[in-house]
Structure 1
Amino acid sequence: QELRLPSQEITFLELRIVLYSIVRMESNYIALIMEHYIKIIARLTMLASIYIVLPCLHQKHMVALTIP
């Protein structure tokens, strides 16, 4: 299931909203889900690199994700 977004120009606020909604999912495979969607988002935005810091709710600390 691909993430459907209205345009290829996505602001960091929109990106954050999408990622927070993914983080909120109750899943043991949250890391795999986030990685999957972040790769899709990175492809859609055509950004050379994305640096995102997310609260990982089940781990109770900040997790930094980098997509080269």
Structure 2
Amino acid sequence: MEKPAVIDWLARKIPQTTITASVCTGVFLLAKTGQLDNKSVTTHWEDIADLQTMFPSLDVKSGVR
């Protein structure tokens, strides 16, 4: 998750997209940009608690795809 160049690139690209999606735990990188704050997100069920703990400003959903 400590990939500053990737996070910076994502931060520049997200505002240019209509839909931003990732696969599984890719949401952690997207969340690091700060641009998912107050948005609904999900991830693999084993990582839900970590996502909620690390990014309390996200609306983390469980049991959905």
TM-score (norm 1): 0.30
Q: Which has the higher helix share?
A: 2
TM-score (norm 2): 0.31
